[in-house]
Structures are given as structure tokens and as C-alpha cells.
């Protein structure tokens, strides 16, 4: 059996602030198998983005962050790696897509230059012409009909949906084994978001890329993920296959999230003020979905 | 026109001052006639504009030479000082800001911030006096005044000593001229360095929070490259605006710094002609300074348009 692409075990994170240590992640475990699409769903502030940043090795360099637990990437312990080794994985074996495509691209460089930069991560000596050729092919893959025009443009000259496609093409350009999508396209309008997500799904399936899909919207996740982890206040509260979870949400928080699925706008963070004991009920694991090495 | 008007309302009869107390009433009257000073102001203005259009600024009553010739003699010294100070501002100020922002919160950042705060907190002539006392008087590392050691001479070609000494192939004189430039130029540049560094830092720190920086980090681009291409380049636009303004402000500040370091530049000339109410020379000096001010601003706007694709492209579309 090959090692899962990503295996996180009992991950804890605290930030050192003026008022002492504040724990943000209270022991998270999750895994993603090769080519699997997994969603991490929870409300704002529940700890989704920090998890992503730890996987990329970005929080480890932050002086105020205290991290414990294990993060294995393709069987290798990230903590055991040197800073340079972790750095080498970024942009090559792992890549990331962000919430707002237009502001995630550098405003003062053309798309082709930014693509070149990304491709250089894999092939440091790649020339501009060669990079442009590859980029054009990648852009064609995300259904962009005039790759040359897009490559010669600045991000502000393109629509949000177009930039989102560019981001997807860039993220997959180096054939990473893990793609992290942090609320991709939440800043776009619903139909464009749906289109680009469909496209992304096709591409990751074709390339057999594992995906960690981060969202606060269960409705969006439903279309995309094989498996879902629900995170609430730094704890995983429910975990199961997408079908299981939607057919039979068992944790009170998951049920509240389901009821909050926005029907028309696709926007909106669930309004959950409740802090009762019920929400802090123990982890619910659906049948056949335990963490590797644990009794399910 | 404003310049013209201000020069005319300063009290005192220019012809009288020019000719000195011993001149006869007849001589004074002759000069007044020649300068059209006897005619109404509106007519004087007409003469002035007509001459200006031909590149003629009239004759200085103080040196008795065409004002353009005087300016051509004194301007290069001032320009040399300002250009060197401007280069210092860019070559010291911007890198300090970049280092400060990239290592924000570190001791290097704190040191730079204190240094730059000092720089902006006193006007350049105060720095001129302080630097002169410290590094020319108590610690005689630099010459105390002037542009070149008295023992040296170089033929005047451009008036820029740094260029003329090189043209003459006189490396020793070049070094000497550069050595004379250090203190006055640094005094003149200090507040600009401070402003450029502080502004670059604050813009870059703000830019570091932008999503495209996070994206660059998540792709593992090298840190130095992120600092330069992702944080600095977009922050350069506002910094450049300030540098342009500071550069223009140096034209004025140079007056006092030149006075402190006995720099034989336009300010010396300007002060001398104002005291003598030398109308043509005053107007000429102020005109040249305003023209330089304008040119600097246009160049800066042009540079900004060049590095900001949004402006560049919208102009091309029109
Ligand atoms: N650099 C930091 N220093 C201190 N606290 C932080 C830092 N980054 C994040 N946090 C805290 O960690 C918690 C989780 O943040 P995170 O960004 O992961 O939330 P999220 O689930 O991604 O929410 P959102 O949906 O708003 O993106 C928040 O309470 C946040 O205040
Ligand atoms: Mg987030």
C-alpha cells in the first residue's frame, strides 16, 4: 500500500500573543489518498487556512506560531525536513489556489511573466519562449480560447473568471500531487464560480491530483469532494464520504451548516452563534472512514 | 507673470542701486530709460515677454552681463549638487526602505527607522551645519567648503566638475571634486532619504499583506525575488511620487545648503542679485528654477506612467 499523499495526525497550533498562548487547532487528524478530493468545511475562523499554511510549510517559519503533531507528505515527515526541503516542495509537488483570483496575481506583471516564474520552479533554466509555449497549452486546457492574448495581458485587463482559469492553469502547470484550494473563487459570482470549479474538477481527475478543498459552503463542496471533514473551532467534528454526510449528517454543527447552505447567492457565512455543549459533541466518523492506522 | 510682478514691487530703485551712490541723476535717468523703467508696468511686461520669447532674459545690472550667461555659469554647480543628492536619495533611500520592510520587526529595521526619522526631522541646512561641524571641523575627513581644492584647475566645458575633470583626464581632480560634494549633497539628501525610505517601507509592509504575496510564497518563489518583484515593484509607484516632490524641493533647500558650504552655485547668485534688486537677474533665476521644477515633475510623472501598466495602457488606448 502506498503512503497517502497527505497524512495529518493530531495537529495542534497555538499563536503566542500578548495574552499568552492561544490554541487555534486542537489536534486535527485528516488524510488524503493519492488523487483523492477531500473537503475541509467550517465557518470563518475555524482554522481552515492555517491548516493549509502548515501543509505548505509557511507557518513553520513564523516566530509566533507553535506547532505540534505530524504532517506527512507522500510518506515523508514535514517536520523532519529542512526548511530548504520544505521550500522545494512548494510550487512543484504542492500548489495553492486562492479566494480572489484577480488580487492573487501580481498587478504589475503580465500573465506570461507570472507563468514563467511558476514554471521556473520545476525547470529553473526554462526560457521565456518555451515557458510561453507550455503556458499556452495549459491555458487551452482550461478552455481559454485565445491563450496568446491572455498571456500578453495584465491581470486587471482580464475578467475574474478568466483570472481564475489562469490561476487553475498555473496551479496545475507543474503537475503537483497535492492541490490546496482555499475557498476558490468565493469572490466571483456564482455561475462563474460553478463553471471554474467544474473545470478544476475535470482537470484534477485527469491529472490524478489530490485536492484539499477548503470552503465554508457545503453546497459548493457537494459537487466537488469525495470525502468531507467538518471543522469547528479548531476540531474536526464529523468526517465521512460526501454521500454519507449529506444523507445523514449526525453532528449538530454539521446539521446547522446544512441548513445554512445558501440557496441563491452562494455567498454568506452560516450564522451560527450557538456555543452550547451540543456543538462540542464528540467526533462523528462515518462507516469506513477512519484515519489510517486507527480503528474505524 | 507672478515672478515679474513680485520682482517689481520690491521697494527701491534698481537703477539707483546698480549705479551706486556716486552716480549722477542723469546717469540714473539714462539707465531707467534703457530698461524701460520709466514706462507703465504693463508696457514693461510687454517688453519682458517679447525678450523672453527670444531666449533673452536681459542684462544683469550686477554683473553687467546677459543674465543667461550668468545663469549658465552658476547653474551647473547647483545642478551637480542636486543631481548627486537625488541619486543619494534613490540609491540610499529606496534600499533602506526595502531592507526595513523585508526584515520588519528586526533590529535592522529599528535602526533604519530611527536613522530615517532623524533624517526627516530637521531641515537640510541644519544637517549641513551639523555635518560640517562633525565631519569637516572636529573630524576633518571632508573639505569644509567649495567645489575643488584651490591648487587645482580644470578647463570649463560643461560646468559640471565631475564631468569636466573626467574630460580633462584628471582623475585626481575628479576625486577631489567628488570629495567636496559628499557633505553638501548628503546634507541636502538626508530628509529625502528619510522620506523615501519611510514611505517605501510602509508601502511595502502594506503590500506584504496582499494576496499575491501569499500566492508567491505558496509557490515557493525565492524570498529576495518576492521582496523585489512582488512587494517592492508595486510599492515603487507612490515612492517615486514623493521622490519627485523631494527632488523638486531640493531646488529650494539647495539655497541654504550652498550658503553653508560656500558653494558657488545659483543660490549665491540669487541672493546677491536679490540684495541688489537686479530685476532681470532675479526674474531669470526664478524662471530657471521654476522650469527645472516643472521638468522634474514631468519626468517623474512619465516614469510613474512607465512602471504602472494601468496608466501606460490607458494612455495608449486613448
Ligand atoms: N498570524 C496569526 N496570528 C494569530 N492568530 C491567527 C493568525 N492567523 C490566524 N489566526 C487565528 O487562527 C484562527 C483560524 O484562522 P483561519 O485563517 O485558519 O480561519 P479560516 O477557517 O480560514 O477562516 P476564513 O473562512 O475566514 O478564511 C482565527 O481565529 C485567527 O484569528
Ligand atoms: Mg481562510
Looking at A145, A173, A201, the residue that finishes a domain is A173
Task: Looking at the structure, tell me whether residues A188 and A280 fall in a common domain.
Answer: yes
Supply the pLDDT for residue A67: 92
What average pLDDT does the segment B50-73 reach? 74
Say if residue B302's pLDDT is above 80. Answer: yes
Quick check: is B313 in a domain?
A: no
Quick check: is B304 in a domain?
A: no
What average pLDDT does the segment B180-202 reach? 90
Of A134-143, B31-40, B307-316, least confident by mean pLDDT is: B31-40
Chain B residue with Cα closest to A106: B212
Task: Looking at the structure, tell me whether residues A202 and A167 fall in a common domain.
Answer: no
In the DSSP assignment, the letter for residue B59 is B
Q: How confident is the model at residue B309 (pLDDT cuts 50, 70, 90)?
A: confident
Q: How confident is the model at residue B7 (pLDDT cuts 50, 70, 90)?
A: low
Task: Looking at the structure, tell me whether residues B96 and B31 fall in a common domain.
Answer: no
Per-residue pLDDT of chain A (296 residues; tens, 9 = 90+): 578 899 999 999 999 988 888 999 999 999 999 999 999 999 888 999 999 999 998 888 888 899 999 999 998 998 888 888 888 999 999 999 988 888 999 988 999 999 999 999 999 889 999 999 999 999 998 888 999 999 999 999 999 889 999 999 999 999 999 999 998 877 788 888 888 888 899 999 999 999 999 998 888 888 889 999 999 989 999 898 988 888 888 888 888 888 776 654 444 445 555 566 666 777 878 877 777 766 44
d(CA B92, CA B78): 21
Confirm if A283 and A239 have CB atoms less than 8 A apart.
yes
Q: How confident is the model at residue B164 (pLDDT cuts 50, 70, 90)?
A: confident
Task: Looking at the structure, tell me whether residues B31 and B112 fall in a common domain.
Answer: no
Task: Looking at the structure, tell me whether residues B185 and B252 fall in a common domain.
Answer: yes
- Per the model's pLDDT, the better-predicted residue between B148 and A153 turns out to be A153
Task: Looking at the structure, tell me whether residues A250 and A141 fall in a common domain.
Answer: no
Task: Looking at the structure, tell me whether residues B118 and B242 fall in a common domain.
Answer: yes
Task: Looking at the structure, tell me whether residues B113 and B248 fall in a common domain.
Answer: yes
- Per the model's pLDDT, the better-predicted residue between A49 and B293 turns out to be A49
> What b/e string do you get for A123-142 counting C-beta neighbours within 10 Å, with b at 16 or more?
eeeeeeeebbebbbebbebb
What average pLDDT does the segment B92-120 reach? 91
Quick check: is B242 in a domain?
A: yes
Q: Which of B220, B230, B307 sits opposite A106 (nearest CB)?
A: B230
Top residue of B212, B232, B312 to mutate, by most chain A CBs within 10 Å, is B212
Task: Looking at the structure, tell me whether residues B235 and B145 fall in a common domain.
Answer: yes
Quick check: is B172 in a domain?
A: yes
Looking at A173, A197, A217, the residue that finishes a domain is A173
Quick check: is A63 in a domain?
A: no
Supply the pLDDT for residue A212: 95
Q: Whose CA is nearest to atom 9 of ligand 1?
A: A50
Task: Looking at the structure, tell me whether residues B43 and B103 fall in a common domain.
Answer: no
The set of residues, in sequence order, having a beta carbon less than 8 Å from that of A203 and lying 6+ positions away, is: A141, A142, A168, A172, A209
Task: Looking at the structure, tell me whether residues B99 and B164 fall in a common domain.
Answer: yes
Task: Looking at the structure, tell me whether residues A279 and A214 fall in a common domain.
Answer: yes
DSSP A2-14: PPPSEEEEEEEEE
Confirm if A65 and A53 have CB atoms less than 8 A apart.
no
- Element holding B298 (H helix, E strand): helix B279-307
Quick check: is B269 in a domain?
A: no
Domain count, chain B: 2
ipTM, 2 decimals?
A: 0.83
Task: Looking at the structure, tell me whether residues A142 and A201 fall in a common domain.
Answer: no
Quick check: is A229 in a domain?
A: yes
Quick check: is B310 in a domain?
A: no
Task: Looking at the structure, tell me whether residues B39 and B117 fall in a common domain.
Answer: no
Domain count, chain A: 2
According to DSSP, the residues that pair with A33 across neighbouring strands are: none
Looking at A120, A149, A173, the residue that finishes a domain is A173
Top residue of A91, A178, A186, A188 to mutate, by most chain B CBs within 10 Å, is A91
Supply the pLDDT for residue A154: 92
Supply the pLDDT for residue B53: 65
Q: Whose CA is nearest to atom 27 of ligand 1?
A: A44
Supply the pLDDT for residue B149: 75
Q: Which residues of A touch B313 (CB under 8 A)?
A: 154, 157
Quick check: is B311 in a domain?
A: no
Task: Looking at the structure, tell me whether residues A277 and A138 fall in a common domain.
Answer: no
In tens, the pLDDT along B239-288 reads 888 888 888 788 888 888 888 888 888 877 887 887 777 777 888 888 88
Task: Looking at the structure, tell me whether residues B233 and B94 fall in a common domain.
Answer: yes
Write out the residue range of the structural domain in which residue A249 sits: 32-48+82-93+178-296
Task: Looking at the structure, tell me whether residues B43 and B173 fall in a common domain.
Answer: no
Task: Looking at the structure, tell me whether residues B123 and B249 fall in a common domain.
Answer: yes
Would the CB atoms of A91 and B220 count as touching at under 8 Å?
yes
Looking at B248, B263, B278, the residue that finishes a domain is B263
Task: Looking at the structure, tell me whether residues A134 and A189 fall in a common domain.
Answer: no
Measured between CB atoms, does B312 come within 8 Å of chain A? no
Quick check: is A125 in a domain?
A: yes
Looking at B36, B53, B70, the residue that finishes a domain is B53
What average pLDDT does the segment B66-90 reach? 87
CATH number at residue A226: 3.40.50.300
Quick check: is A7 in a domain?
A: no
Task: Looking at the structure, tell me whether residues A206 and A108 fall in a common domain.
Answer: no
Quick check: is A197 in a domain?
A: yes
d(CA A78, CA B249): 54
Chain A residue with Cα closest to B309: A108
Task: Looking at the structure, tell me whether residues A194 and A278 fall in a common domain.
Answer: yes
Say if residue B292's pLDDT is above 90. Answer: no
Task: Looking at the structure, tell me whether residues A200 and A248 fall in a common domain.
Answer: yes
Q: How confident is the model at residue B11 (pLDDT cuts 50, 70, 90)?
A: low
Quick check: is A72 in a domain?
A: no
d(CA B6, CA B200): 39
Atom nearest to A64 CA in ligand 1: 3
Task: Looking at the structure, tell me whether residues A209 and A227 fall in a common domain.
Answer: yes
Task: Looking at the structure, tell me whether residues A211 and A160 fall in a common domain.
Answer: no
Residue B184 burial (C-beta neighbours within 10 Å; 0-12, 13-18, 19+): buried
- Element holding A20 (H helix, E strand): strand A20-32
Write out the residue range of the structural domain in which residue B28 sits: 2-53
Say if residue B190's pLDDT is above 70. Answer: yes
d(CA B143, CA B179): 7
Looking at B245, B263, B281, the residue that finishes a domain is B263
Amino acid at each position: 500500500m502506498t503512503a497517502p499523499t497527505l497524512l495529518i495526525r493530531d495537529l495542534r497550533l497555538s499563536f503566542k500573543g500578548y495574552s499568552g498562548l492561544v490554541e487555534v487547532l486542537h489536534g486535527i487528524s485528516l488524510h488524503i489518498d493519492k488523487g483523492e478530493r477531500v473537503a475541509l468545511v467550517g465557518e470563518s475562523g475555524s482554522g481552515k487556512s492555517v491548516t493549509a499554511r502548515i501543509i505548505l510549510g509557511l507557518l513553520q517559519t513564523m516566530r509566533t506560531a507553535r506547532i505540534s503533531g505530524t504532517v506527512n507528505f507522500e510518506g515523508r515527515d514535514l517536520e523532519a525536513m529542512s526548511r530548504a526541503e520544505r521550500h522545494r516542495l512548494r510550487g512543484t509537488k504542492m500548489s495553492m489556489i486562492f479566494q480572489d483570483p484577480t488580487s492573487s496575481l501580481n498587478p504589475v506583471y503580465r500573465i506570461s511573466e507570472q507563468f514563467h516564474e511558476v514554471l521556473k520552479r520545476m525547470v529553473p533554466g526554462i526560457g521565456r519562449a518555451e515557458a510561453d509555449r507550455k503556458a499556452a497549452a495549459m491555458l487551452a486546457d482550461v478552455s481559454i480560447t485565445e491563450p496568446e492574448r491572455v498571456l500578453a495581458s495584465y491581470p486587471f485587463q482580464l475578467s475574474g473568471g478568466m483570472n481564475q482559469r489562469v490561476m487553475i492553469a498555473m496551479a496545475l502547470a507543474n503537475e503537483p500531487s497535492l492541490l490546496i484550494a482555499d475557498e476558490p473563487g468565493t469572490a466571483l459570482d456564482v455561475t462563474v464560480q460553478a463553471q471554474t470549479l467544474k473545470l478544476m474538477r475535470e482537470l484534477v481527475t485527469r491529472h490524478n491530483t489530490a485536492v484539499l478543498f477548503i470552503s465554508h459552503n457545503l453546497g459548493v463542496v457537494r459537487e466537488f469532494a469525495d470525502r468531507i471533514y467538518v471543522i469547528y473551532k479548531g476540531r474536526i467534528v464529523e468526517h465521512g464520504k460526501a454521500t454519507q454526510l449529506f444523507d445523514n449528517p449526525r453532528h449538530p454543527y454539521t446539521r446547522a451548516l446544512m441548513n445554512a447552505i445558501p440557496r441563491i447567492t452562494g455567498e454568506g457565512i452560516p450564522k451560527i452563534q450557538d456555543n452550547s455543549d451540543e456543538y462540542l459533541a464528540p467526533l462523528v466518523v462515518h462507516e469506513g472512514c477512519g484515519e489510517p492506522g486507527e480503528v474505524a | 507673470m507672478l515672478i515679474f510682478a513680485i520682482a517689481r514691487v520690491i521697494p527701491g530703485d534698481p537703477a539707483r542701486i546698480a549705479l551706486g551712490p556716486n552716480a549722477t541723476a542723469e546717469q540714473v535717468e539714462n539707465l531707467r530709460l534703457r530698461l524701460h523703467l520709466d514706462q507703465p508696468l504693463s508696457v514693461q511686461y510687454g517688453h519682458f515677454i517679447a525678450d523672453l520669447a527670444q531666449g533673452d532674459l536681459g542684462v544683469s545690472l550686477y554683473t553687467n552681463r546677459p543674465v543667461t550667461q550668468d545663469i549658465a555659469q552658476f547653474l551647473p554647480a547647483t545642478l551637480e549638487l542636486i543631481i548627486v543628492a537625488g541619486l543619494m536619495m534613490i540609491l540610499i533611500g529606496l534600499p533602506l526602505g526595502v531592507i526595513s520592510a523585508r526584515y520588519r520587526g528586526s533590529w535592522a529595521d529599528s535602526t533604519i527607522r530611527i536613522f530615517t526619522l532623524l533624517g526627516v526631522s530637521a531641515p537640510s541646512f541644519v544637517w549641513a551645519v551639523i555635518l560640517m561641524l562633525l565631519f569637516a571641523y572636529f573630524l576633518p575627513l571632508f573639505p569644509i567648503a567649495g567645489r575643488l581644492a584651490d591648487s587645482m584647475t580644470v578647463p570649463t566645458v560643461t560646468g559640471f566638475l565631475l564631468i569636466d575633470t573626467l574630460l580633462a583626464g584628471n582623475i585626481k581632480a575628479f576625486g577631489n571634486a567628488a570629495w567636496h560634494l559628499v557633505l553638501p549633497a548628503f546634507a541636502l539628501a538626508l530628509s529625502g532619504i528619510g522620506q523615501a525610505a519611510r514611505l517605501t517601507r510602509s508601502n511595502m509592509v502594506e503590500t506584504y499583506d496582499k494576496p499575491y504575496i501569499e500566492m508567491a510564497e505558496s509557490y515557493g518563489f525565492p524570498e529576495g525575488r518576492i521582496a523585489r518583484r512582488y512587494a517592492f515593484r508595486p510599492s515603487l509607484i507612490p515612492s517615486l511620487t514623493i521622490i519627485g516632490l523631494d527632488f523638486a524641493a531640493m531646488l529650494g533647500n539647495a539655497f541654504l545648503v550652498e550658503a553653508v558650504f560656500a558653494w558657488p552655485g545659483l543660490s549665491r547668485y540669487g541672493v546677491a542679485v536679490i540684495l541688489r534688486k537686479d530685476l532681470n537677474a532675479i526674474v531669470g533665476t526664478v524662471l530657471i528654477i521654476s522650469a527645472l521644477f516643472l521638468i522634474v515633475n514631468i519626468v517623474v510623472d512619465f516614469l510613474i506612467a512607465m512602471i504602472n501598466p494601468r496608466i501606460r495602457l490607458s494612455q495608449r488606448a486613448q
